[in-house]
Structure formats: structure tokens, C-alpha cells
Amino acid sequence: MLAALTLLLFGLMAGCNQKDSGDKKSGGIADLFKKDKLPQATTDSLFVKSYLAKRPEFKEQEELMYQFYGERNYKLAWFKENELVPQVDKFLGVIDSSYAEGLDPKRYKLVNFNELFKKYEALDAKDSTRLQLQQEIDVALTASYFNYASDFYRGRVDPTSDNSVNWEVKKNKIKLHKALQTILEERESTYPYYEFEALHAGYIRLRDVLQEYRALQQKGGWPKVELGGKKSLQKGDSAQAVAVLRKRLNPNQTIDPKDKRYWHFDEKLEAQVKKFQQLHGLKEDGVVGGGTLATMNVPIEDRIEQIMINMERWRWIPKRMVPKSLDQKYIWVNIPEYKLYIYEDPDNDPEAERDYKEVMSMRVVVGKTMNATPIFSEKMEYVVLAPYWNVPNSIVEREIKPKMLNNPDWLETQNMEIVTKERNPKPVSAYDIDWESVTEKNFQYMVRQKPGPKNSLGSMKFLFPNEHAIYLHDTPANALFSQTERNFSHGCVRLEKPMELAKYVLRDMPEWDEQSIEDTINGGEEKWITLPKKIQVYLVYFTSWVDAEGNVHFREDLYGHDKALKKEYFG
């Protein structure tokens, strides 16, 4: 054994003494010790595991860490030729400025990188401990990125694990390890990860407004409007309170409440009040009192929090609003706004993720507080003309049962009938049912309202099959659309312009023009139409947003979802 080792050492030394035959990278032992720097370090799963075990604050990112490093065979990410890549400074700057995103920088400054960098630079280039420090810095940067990016791109609150949040829109499945590869310029993407930028214009507009509101907060915010014994203020009034009102609506202007030039409530101020009412979903009468006064006196701190939690909701929205397999359009119902919008890509290009344009909007009626319209997303598949209304058993027990106990013929007066629950329903006599004992769970039949002008679904409904049995539909109660607050339904969404929506979703089926739709409705026979391509539908809950003109909107927390989210987000 000793002899063999002696021969090996002799051979190596002989090799070192041989003349270089033109290859300057001979790889001999002498060359190794003459090198100015050690080779670039790599890491491995054991090092990653050991590091995470010592830093439990990164435990949630463990799966992403193994996925990211595993796909690169544990090659370091943030070093190139033993030097930190430029993206390091950019990322640390993003963390420093995360306050602008409605996030807390302290949540992401879990590692003292300046100290690690100084320690690394102080080590001699040939010091082997430098290789281990490279690994530590690299793994720490990656874990810090995932910690930040998880909050920034997916949200601080996980709506799928917190039942109090009430959000069942399809999950944002952003692949953060791929996003990091884009940042490091190792792959290309249509998304702006390399700029550490948000994915939705709605988020970005709210973020810009957040900075404006915070700047205004630093200056003292806006004044509280007090009427001084008056019930309201309106055009023609003259009082010091009018000057305060003027300052409230123009907080960046210098207005002295004692200066009587500002005391007169003129047409210009009335227009501003109506604009305020419009942006807050109030009756646009130009009168300051009641709900308008209460809304004006919401503190700026509350509005800032409202903006922040609605930015959080945008983080939950999928980065791809519409799957590539569908037409590049989607229906967006914002429940607190009582409004439906249709957005589409005019070029129908699945790659043009940020180019959707509004092509239609209409008022809607949503569920009462006790029958809240759920928040979810699905795909529209059918349009049903002259529909039956199949009454849910919950309504049978709560509303129909008392009426039938009082008047056994009540269903007939409503053009309703009772049928069996089978493919070909058979009629059932109301007199054969023991209404006294009927409950939501034991009622074995189906109450349905026949097609016709009195039908609660009106002339048509739009189905996107879902576990909530929620859909869009017409209504005979058209007067409700003139109301400012429109939460009257049992949960489904009633449409102001159902015919316009029908023509739009059926426009690729020439046989279904307005006349043929009308003829079918008037025929009184239920007709199901299968859409040639499904359409993405979102039922969402945003109480603050910024429109295309830059106007900031706020709405009341109709179902208390803001309150629940604030508790999770700020708690």
C-alpha cells in the first residue's frame, strides 16, 4: 500500500515538472495552489435542509427551495464567477420599498445581508471558508425572495385556508421558482417578474393611490365636516361649514374656513358633491347629510386600510385571467358595486394577458346580507330562454310553506307547480303534501315557477354550473335597478340588460339573433342553448378600486368581508 502511494506521488510530481505543451490549464497540483481564486461554489440538499432547520422563519418556503435548487442541480443562483449578480441590489431595494406595496419590510428583513456581504469581501479569495459563506448567502437570498414573493404575488392571507375570508375564486397558481429564474435572466416570461412588478393593472392603480393617500395623511388628512345644527347642506346655503366641506373635497388646496369667500354653496361645489357621491355609490342629489355626510367623515386612515386589503384581493386573482383554451373574454361581477362588466381582448390573443378592454357594463342586483352572493369563479356554459325557476328547498321552507298553510291554492296564483325530481318530472298535487312537516331537508319534490312574464328569472338565465347554484338572470322587477343599493335577491345576480348579454355571448351563433331570441321566449317553452366556447365568469368583492380615468371608488362593506380580512391582514 505504501509503495503504491509513493509511486502515485512520484507520478504526480513528475507530471508537475513536465513542460507545458501549450495547454495553460494543465490541472496539475501546482497549478491548483497557484490559482488566485477558489472555484465557484455549489450547494446541496443537505446544506439547504441544515440552513432551513436553523431559520424556522423560512420553513414555509422549504418546498420551493428544494424545487428551485433541484431544477438547477444545486448550482448557486445569486453568484457569477464568485461575484454577486446585480439583481441582488435590486431585490434588496424592493424589500426596502415594500411599504409602498402595503407590506411591512420588517417581515422580509430576516437576514443581515450587509453583514454577510462585508464578511464575504473581507475573506481572502483563496480562503475555503468563502465557499461555505457563498452557499449561506445564496440560500438566504433565495429564501428571502420566496418569503417576499409569496406575500407579494399570492397574498399575505391565504383565502383557501381561512374560511372567514369568503373567497373561492380560482387560486393564483403562480410558480415562484420560475419567477425567480426570470429575475435571474435564466428564462424568459411574458410577465414582468424581472421588474419585481405586479401582475394586474387594478393592483397597480390602487398602489399609486395608496401613496397619494399616505402623503395626504402626512399633511393631516381631510377635515371632519360638521353641520353646526343644520340637517344638511345644499346649493344656495351659506355657512362656515360650507368652507370646511370645500376643504374636504379639495384637501390639497389652501382654504381658510374663516374666509367668507368660501362660505357659499355654489353650482361648482354641488357638482363636486355629486361626483363624490358617484364615486362612493351614493344617491347623486348634491345634498350633504345622512349617508353622504357619514361617508365624507370616514377617516383617511380607514380608507388607507381599505385600499391595502383590496390590493391584497388582487394578489389572489390568477395571473392568467382567462385560460388559453377559452375565448379571451371574461365577465366580472363586483358585488359591492352592484355592477357587471365584460372585458375582452380585441385580438383574441391568449398571450395578451394585460390588454383586456371593457366592452359592456350594466347594473345588477345581488343577494341580501342574509342571502349573500358567494365569491367564486366558474365558466359559463349555457343560456336558457323562457326558463323555469326551480325554487331552492330553503325558500320552500322559509317562504312558501307559510303561504301554503294559509292558502293551499297560493302556488297556482304565482304560476307555480310541484313536480317530482326526475329526468321527466311528473306533477304532484299541493293537497297531497303535509305542509306542516315540510323542512328544507325532507322536502322530496321540486317547486318550480313556469315560464312567463311573472317568472322570477324573467325571460332568460345564464348558467355557469357551480356548487352554490348561483347564476345570472333576468327579472320582472326592473324598478330595482333605479335603487342606489341593490341587495335584494336570494343570492343569484339579476341583470339590468339581459338581452344585451344574451346577444353578446351568442354572437358567434348566427341563428340566435335578437328576433329569434324573442320568438323563443314568447313561445313559452324552456330552451337550453350550449355556448360554442365557455366564458370565464368572476363574482368578486372589491370595496375600493381605481377606474380607467384615475378616479378612486369606495363602497360599503356589504357583507362584512372587509372586516374579516382586516382582522387577518393587520392582526
Q: Residues 378, 493: one domain?
A: yes
Share of the chain above pLDDT 90, in %: 81
Q: Is residue 162 part of a domain?
A: yes
For residue 220, what pLDDT is reported?
94
Q: What are phi and psi of 418, to 5 degrees?
A: -115, 130
Range in 34-43, 143-152, 166-175, 540-549 with the lowest mean pLDDT: 34-43
Tens digits of residue pLDDT in 201-238: 999 999 999 999 999 999 999 999 999 888 999 999 99
Among the three residues 410, 426, 450, which one is the final residue of a domain in this structure? 450
Which letter does DSSP use for residue 465 in this model? -
Same domain membership, residue 506 and residue 375? yes
Would the pTM of this model clear 0.95, i.e. be above it? no
| Structural domain range at position 498 | 318-387+459-540
What are the start-end ranges of the E strands in 325-413? 329-334, 339-344, 357-367, 376-385, 389-391
Question: Residue 4 has what pLDDT?
Answer: 40
Residue 9 has pLDDT above 50, yes or no: no
Place of cell 435572466: 185
Average pLDDT over residues 188-196: 87
Q: Are residues 77 and 180 in the same domain?
A: yes
- CATH number, residue 372: 2.40.440.10
Mean pLDDT of 366-376: 95
Domain match, 62 and 157 both: yes
pLDDT score recorded for residue 476: 92
pLDDT for position 353: 58
Average pLDDT over the chain, rounded to whole?
91
Task: Examine the domain organization and report whether 359 and 397 are in the same domain.
Answer: no
As annotated, the active-site residues are: 473, 492
The per-residue pLDDT for 352 is 61
**Of residues 128 and 276, more confidently modeled:** 276
Average pLDDT over residues 292-321: 97
Query: Are residues 161 and 84 both part of a single domain?
Result: yes
pLDDT band, very low/low/confident/very high, at 1 (cuts 50, 70, 90): very low
Give the span between the Cα atoms of 85 and 79, in whole angstroms: 6
501 and 361 in a single domain? The answer is yes
Other beta carbons within 10 angstroms of residue 482's beta carbon come to 9
The cell 390590493 sits on which residue? Answer: 311
pLDDT number for residue 351: 66
Query: How many domains in the chain?
Result: 4
Does residue 187 sit in the same domain as residue 67? Answer: yes
User: Which of these three, 268, 302, 336, is where a domain ends?
Assistant: 302
CB 308 within 8 A of CB 559: no
**pLDDT for 26 beyond 80:** no
Residues 6+ apart with CB under 8 A from 206: 307, 310, 311, 314, 544, 545, 546
Q: What is the pLDDT of residue 257?
A: 87
Q: What is the mean pLDDT of the segment spanning 346-374?
A: 86
Using one digit for the tens of pLDDT, what is the confidence trace for 322-350? 998 888 999 999 999 999 999 998 777 76
Q: Are residues 68 and 115 in the same domain?
A: yes
Give me the mean pLDDT over the 483-506 stretch.
95
CA dihedral 120, 121, 122, 127 (to 10 degrees): 60
pLDDT at 33 > cutoff 90: no
